[in-house]
Amino acid sequence: ARHLYICDFHKNLIQSVRNRRKRKGSDDDGDSPVQDIDTPEVDLYQLQVNTLRRYKRHFKLQTRPGLNKAQLVEIIGCHFRTIPVNEKDTLTYFIYSVKNDKNKSDLKMDSGMH
C-alpha cells in the first residue's frame, strides 16, 4: 500500500482545529465569535498583482481602477475574511485529496464518468 504523509504544518493546523473544537464544546456558552485569535492569516502580499486582480474580477469586487498592490491586498483581505468556511468539510476534502493524490479537475472527471 502506498503511504502519503501530511507535512508538519498541515498536521499541526488540523490538530489545532480539533483542539479548538474540544475547548469550544466544553466551556463555551455558544456566543463565541466565529473566528478565533489563533486562526492563521493568509499573507496576500505573497500573491502576484495579476493573481489579486483575477480574484477581484472573479468575485466582482467593486473598486476604482488603477489600484496598487497594497490597496488590492487591503480590499481583497476584507472580502476574503468574510467568506464562510466549513472547517470540517474543508479538512475532510483536503485529506481525501492528499490521500488519493487528486485535485479538483480529477474529481470533476470522476463524477462525470459515473
20's CB contacts (< 8 A; 6+ apart) are: 36, 38
In angstroms, the CA 63 to CA 24 distance is 38
Q: What is the pLDDT of residue 5?
A: 63
For residue 23, pLDDT over 90 is answered with: no
Q: What is the pLDDT of residue 9?
A: 76
In angstroms, rounded to a whole number, what is the distance separating the alpha carbons of residues 59 and 42?
17
- The pLDDT-based confidence of 28 (bands split at 50, 70, 90) is very low
Q: What is the pLDDT of residues 63-106, one digit of tens each?
A: 998 899 999 999 999 999 888 888 889 889 888 888 887 766 55
The one-letter amino acid code at 54 reads R
